[in-house]
Structure 1
Amino acid sequence: MSEYDYEELGLVAGLEIHQQLDTETKLFCESPTTLREPEESDREITRYLHPTKSELGELDEAALEESRVDREFTYLAYDTTCLVEEDDEPPRRVDEEALSVALQIAELLDVTVVDEAHVMRKLVIDGSNTSGFQRTMLLGQDGEIETEEGPVSIVDLLLEEESAQRVEETDDGVVYSLDRLGIPLVEIGTGPDVRTPKQAREAAERIGTLLRSTGSVKRGLGTIRQDVNVSIAEGARVEIKGVQDLQGIEDIVRNEVGRQAELVEIAAELDERDASVGETRDVTDVLSDTDSGVIRGALESGGSVTAVPLFGFDGLLGREIQDDRRLGTELSDHAKRHGAGGIFHTDELPAYGITDGEVAALREAVGAGPEDGVAIVAADSETAELAIEAAADRARTAIEGVPEETRDANEDGTTRYLRPLPGAARMYPETDVPPVEPDPSDVETPELLDEKADRYVADYDLDPGLAEQIAFGRRFPLFETAVERGVDPTFAASTLASTTTELRRNDVAIERVADEQFLSTMELVESGELAKEGAPEVLAEIAADPTLSAEEAIEEADLAGVDRETVREAVVAVVERNADQVETEGMGAFSGLMGEAMGELRGKADGEVVSEVLREEIGKRS
């Protein structure tokens, strides 16, 4: 894809980074922050959510639109779910551990911490919170990070509760899991200082590195999410939610610039054509005998077909504005919000069983000429009426230009309509939680990850590559604990970085091994009770059955250590089997025989001991 001239287009972008904190308990109750499997749920809670007015008597537009979609929300609860999560009890005081970690992040971002933090309620009625709002508090403002293309300001740092996790959509609504709801989360908002997709990625990468430097943030898919705000000079601010990875940020910004640029050109063309949107109407009679399976299915179920004439839109509904997404797709996204499967439009017809004659009849029925477009929806009568109105509204905004809105990130780097941008009416005070007075002086500034890697090289004589691997990995706190407990630094680092990676590639669920089990395994190696080469097999045994102790895993794997005499017996057997090779090659046979000897001992003996004995036995025979 060719790059745009971002300066000429007037690209302005900013980021919102959401990062879960790795605390023992949730932000407003004592429930653990461990995720559960849906099948572990022991009960369900059902809710319907509705928008409420703010203290100023205003309704948030995004919440109002969401309420027009009639949905039932089901929540999976667990034996660890508390009454706060169920919205049956007021929240408790802000978790001190979460506050401490958030203040460490404030130090790293160089933000000014507020004197008094007040908890607010942020209206959310998409079902992701049982209460209908999310609790959030402003902790700091006016920070800054550096990128190669210039500084990026940090506008605000917030501490808030994570939303419930979406499990599935059903015919009636959405099923959420309450295990994630309430996990402490920091939200970091940058200023609109980003001018290129590359800078957006770099800024997100820098913030992510600072967050991981605390050693107290959760790692893995879904634990950090990036929202991106993008606009161009003739476009509008668009918030894109749920970008999962760094490359995705760069792709999303680039594609959104392209989408807005195309929409600006379409609006200019529509203006030249003096385009307008007509009245929606029922056209069921026009298509009552169609061979289209989609339309016939709707009609046979008692539904109807609705249409809207789009005067001056011919040829523009099918115009591509992102890869495999067209202006018609934008209209379809809005229709889908009201339960329709999508729309058909005349730029793509005849097709889908709809004939030329039916297209002509459709145009005549709504008063559309050859320079005009027509969009239709087939569904149950209520859905068809709401969906075609939504599509018509989106067509009207296409005449005006680029609409301000919130969009959802797709995996391919494109986006789809989600809801209108939220306004100030969605925020109001939380009266059940007293304010807190953050004290940054009580917090020690964390060591940055690159500084940590340098220290590992200097203090522990680690290879620079291994030092960086462990410092930037998720287990550096465990590495430091292991070294404090007497484990050899190089062995600890390679076990927690290289060995875990290799096991994961072999489909071993290494994430099931607890920190203490890692430590016990490494300490057994250090004490000589387990050969270094046997550690991977012990960890694999524990991953298969996390109830095992390291000692029990050694027994399960039959890896109890052997004495030097047993090692010698095994080595002698290997040497004698390969007597001709030893006689011919002498010490040149060492490498091949070493592998055979280690296999013979199956990780029961340390490689250094095996190597020493093997050299002795080869020396005797050459």
Structure 2
Amino acid sequence: MTEYDYEDLGLVAGLEIHQQLDTATKLFCNCPTELRDPDESTRRFTRYLHPTRSELGEIDDAALEESKVDREFEYLAYDTTCLVEEDDEPPHRLDDEALETVLEIAQLMAMSPVDQANVMRKLVVDGSNTSGFQRSTLIATDGEIETEEGPVGIEDLLLEEESAQRVEETDDGVRYSLDRLGIPLVEIGTSPDIRSPEQARDAAARIGMLLRSTGKVKRGLGTIRQDVNVSIAEGARVEIKGVQSLDDIDDIVRTEVGRQTELVEIRDELEARDAAVGDPQDVSEVFADTDSGVIGGALDGGGSVMAVPLAGFDGLVGREIAPDRRLGTEFSDHAKRHGAGGIFHTDELPAYGVTSEEVDALRDAVGATEDDAVAIVAAATDVASSSIEAVAERARTALEGVPEETRGANDDGTTRYLRPLPGAARMYPETDVPPVEPDPSEVAEPELLTAKVERYQAEYDLDAGLAEQVAYGKFMPLFEDLVADGTDPTLAATTLESTVTELRRDDVPVENLTATHFEQVLGMATAGDLPNEGIPDLLSALATDPSRSAEEAAEAAGLGSAAEDEVREAVLEVVERNEGQVEQEGMQAFSGLMGECMGALRGKADGDLVSELLREEIQKRA
């Protein structure tokens, strides 16, 4: 990947971090915050959403474009779904637990809480909210974090409701699941202080560490999303949504800088060529006898082929502006937003069943020369018409350079067009929820994870690696609860990190294990009712059947602390069975026989006791 002089290009970047909070209930109702399997849904309902005007009578551009795509939104409801989630009942008061957590986060970022927090409605008509808007509340402003390349300001911290979970595309629109809708979500927006891809990743990592330091955020795929705002001096602000992985942030920034740089160069070339965009035209007759499956299929279905002449664009529509993405790909993204499968253009034709004779006829039909390009869309007539208009509009913005827009992050580090940048018209007050007055004096500042690592080493005598695993792992709050209840810190740490990891590798469904399971199992071990060696087997049994208690599972599996006589008997049986080996090898036979003894006892005995008795029996015969 090309490395740019970011200072020379005038790179300016900022982050928006969205993190789900691990609260008991949702932000505006008492429903649980656990995700469900879509197959568990008990009913479905549909909605059509439309944009509304702001208090000043304005309509947000992003919402207006979204509404031009005629779609039905289907929602999966569950036995826990309430009327608030369905938008059939006003929202309840702001959740106290969520508010307390965001005030802790504000302290960690040296932010100033607002005197009064008022809930706002943010217009969203893509179906991700049943109401057609997302509720958002400004909680704190004016903070700062440190990075290796200098401080980065934190402009605002908001408490929001999470959107519904997109399940799949349907023939009529989109299907969503309501289990995620309403989970408390903190949004953290940085100032545009970031000047390099590395600093963007560093800032995101720092914010992530601060969020996890509260011990009150959800963990796992999809629980945190990073949006990146990027611009260069001759480009424009572009918001890139949905960067899932921290490891992708610096690559996303680099790729966007490259994309904008290429678009600026294309603009300059188009200006030098005195380029222009013509009016869309119907060119269906050109392809009346085509062998192209896509075009022929559209025409056979009663559709049309629409074209737009692009004067001076020859060779530039096919120019690569990002890895495996071209200017023509940008045009195609806009066409797809209006229902088309994509576009063809003369920089890539003849191909796809389109002949050179048809390309010549196409150019003649729209009055294009060899210096020009032509883009075409083949689809149902209304789709083809709206899609080619979108292509023409995007081509006109290419004459100006880089358009301000919202883009989505792709898995390969590139991005795709989503919609225009939203404006101020999308926000207006929520009249159903009373304001609250945040009181930071009642909230203690959480201990940073970096400080926890040091404390775990000093206070609990954990080695550096294990201390870091526990502090940064999802079981950190549970670890502290277990230690507070009397569990040996090393035993608690190794169980939560090493043992669980090993069980997962053995395909044990460890996701079924709850905090109560760990508390019961380690409680038995601490009380001497279960040897440490039996912990993996008991956790495995509970993961397979989580409805049982640890005591019930231990009894069913024959686990528990065996009496010394029972242990000695098992050891003696192993030694006698291998008496020839013992007489020949003496204590060198210990290692192999130890494993055999532990296997015979199946987690019923402590390893130290088994070791002691085995040594005694070997020494008697050596």
TM range (shorter): over 0.9
Deviations 1:71-98 (Å, cap 9, x if unpaired)? 0001111111111111011111111000
Q: TM-score, normalized by length of structure 1?
A: 0.99
Once the two structures are TM-superposed, the CA of residue 555 in structure 1 deviates from its matched residue by 3.0
**2:299 alignment partner in structure 1:** 299
**1:613 alignment partner in structure 2:** 613
Any residues of structure 2 matched to 1:47-196 within 5 Å, and which? 47-196=47-196
Once the two structures are TM-superposed, the CA of residue 583 in structure 1 deviates from its matched residue by 2.5
**1:226 alignment partner in structure 2:** 226
Give yes or no for the alignment of 1:372 onto 2:334.
Answer: no
**1:208 alignment partner in structure 2:** 208
Once the two structures are TM-superposed, the CA of residue 584 in structure 1 deviates from its matched residue by 3.1
Contact 1:77 1:178 in 2 (8 A): yes
**2:460 alignment partner in structure 1:** 460
**1:420 alignment partner in structure 2:** 420
Contact 1:16 1:189 in 2 (8 A): yes
**2:445 alignment partner in structure 1:** 445
Alpha-carbon distance in structure 1 between the residues aligned to 2:242 and 2:353: 37
Alpha-carbon distance in structure 2 between the residues aligned to 1:276 and 1:364: 17
Alpha-carbon distance in structure 2 between the residues aligned to 1:505 and 1:261: 45
**1:545 alignment partner in structure 2:** 545
**1:330 alignment partner in structure 2:** 330
Any residues of structure 2 matched to 1:533-612 within 5 Å, and which? 533-612=533-612
Unpaired segments ≥5 residues, structure 1? none
Alpha-carbon distance in structure 2 between the residues aligned to 1:556 and 1:40: 30
Secondary structure of residue in 1 paired with 2:26: coil
Deviations 1:331-379 (Å, cap 9, x if unpaired)? 0000000110000011111100000101110111011110110101011
Give yes or no for the alignment of 1:508 onto 2:547.
Answer: no
Secondary structure of residue in 1 paired with 2:347: helix
Contact 2:134 2:160 in 1 (8 A): yes
Any residues of structure 2 matched to 1:15-26 within 5 Å, and which? 15-26=15-26
Alpha-carbon distance in structure 1 between the residues aligned to 2:185 and 2:20: 4
Alpha-carbon distance in structure 2 between the residues aligned to 1:157 and 1:456: 30
Secondary structure of residue in 1 paired with 2:33: coil
Q: What is the root-mean-square deviation of aligned Cα atoms in Å?
A: 1.0
Q: TM-score, normalized by length of structure 2?
A: 0.99
**1:283 alignment partner in structure 2:** 283
Deviations 1:253-278 (Å, cap 9, x if unpaired)? 11111111111111111111111111
Question: Which deviates more, 87-96 or 497-506?
Answer: 497-506
Deviations 1:206-250 (Å, cap 9, x if unpaired)? 000000000000000000000000011111000000000111111
Deviations 1:446-497 (Å, cap 9, x if unpaired)? 0011111111112211122111111111111111111122211110110011
1:391 alignment partner AA: V
Any residues of structure 2 matched to 1:325-364 within 5 Å, and which? 325-364=325-364
Secondary structure of residue in 2 paired with 1:29: coil
Contact 2:534 2:560 in 1 (8 A): no
Once the two structures are TM-superposed, the CA of residue 389 in structure 1 deviates from its matched residue by 0.6
**2:240 alignment partner in structure 1:** 240
Secondary structure of residue in 2 paired with 1:8: helix
Secondary structure of residue in 2 paired with 1:455: helix
Alpha-carbon distance in structure 2 between the residues aligned to 1:528 and 1:239: 57
Secondary structure of residue in 1 paired with 2:85: coil
Once the two structures are TM-superposed, the CA of residue 186 in structure 1 deviates from its matched residue by 0.5
Once the two structures are TM-superposed, the CA of residue 526 in structure 1 deviates from its matched residue by 1.4
Contact 1:238 1:404 in 2 (8 A): yes
Contact 2:158 2:187 in 1 (8 A): yes
Contact 1:6 1:195 in 2 (8 A): yes
Alpha-carbon distance in structure 1 between the residues aligned to 2:552 and 2:196: 55
Once the two structures are TM-superposed, the CA of residue 581 in structure 1 deviates from its matched residue by 3.0
1:525 alignment partner AA: A
Contact 1:15 1:189 in 2 (8 A): yes
Contact 1:16 1:190 in 2 (8 A): yes
Secondary structure of residue in 1 paired with 2:547: coil
1:545 alignment partner AA: D
Contact 1:309 1:375 in 2 (8 A): yes
Secondary structure of residue in 2 paired with 1:347: coil
Any residues of structure 2 matched to 1:4-23 within 5 Å, and which? 4-23=4-23
**2:311 alignment partner in structure 1:** 311
**1:269 alignment partner in structure 2:** 269
1:300 to 1:557, Cα distance in 2 relative to 1, 3 A: farther
Once the two structures are TM-superposed, the CA of residue 591 in structure 1 deviates from its matched residue by 1.7
1:570 to 1:261, Cα distance in 2 relative to 1, 3 A: same
Alpha-carbon distance in structure 2 between the residues aligned to 1:524 and 1:131: 49
Runs in 1 of length 4+ with deviation above 6 angstroms? none
Alpha-carbon distance in structure 1 between the residues aligned to 2:65 and 2:508: 46
2:256 alignment partner AA: E
2:67 alignment partner AA: S
Question: Which deviates more, 110-119 or 525-534?
Answer: 525-534
Contact 1:33 1:180 in 2 (8 A): yes
**1:406 alignment partner in structure 2:** 406
Alpha-carbon distance in structure 1 between the residues aligned to 2:492 and 2:142: 40
**2:527 alignment partner in structure 1:** 527
**1:37 alignment partner in structure 2:** 37
Once the two structures are TM-superposed, the CA of residue 569 in structure 1 deviates from its matched residue by 1.8
Alpha-carbon distance in structure 2 between the residues aligned to 1:358 and 1:536: 70
Secondary structure of residue in 1 paired with 2:235: coil
Contact 2:560 2:603 in 1 (8 A): no
Once the two structures are TM-superposed, the CA of residue 552 in structure 1 deviates from its matched residue by 2.0
Would you say how many aligned residue pairs link Structure 1 and Structure 2?
Answer: 622
Secondary structure of residue in 2 paired with 1:279: coil
Alpha-carbon distance in structure 2 between the residues aligned to 1:505 and 1:403: 47
1:142 alignment partner AA: D
Contact 1:541 1:556 in 2 (8 A): no
1:139 alignment partner AA: I
Alpha-carbon distance in structure 2 between the residues aligned to 1:123 and 1:228: 20
Unpaired segments ≥5 residues, structure 2? none
Once the two structures are TM-superposed, the CA of residue 424 in structure 1 deviates from its matched residue by 0.2
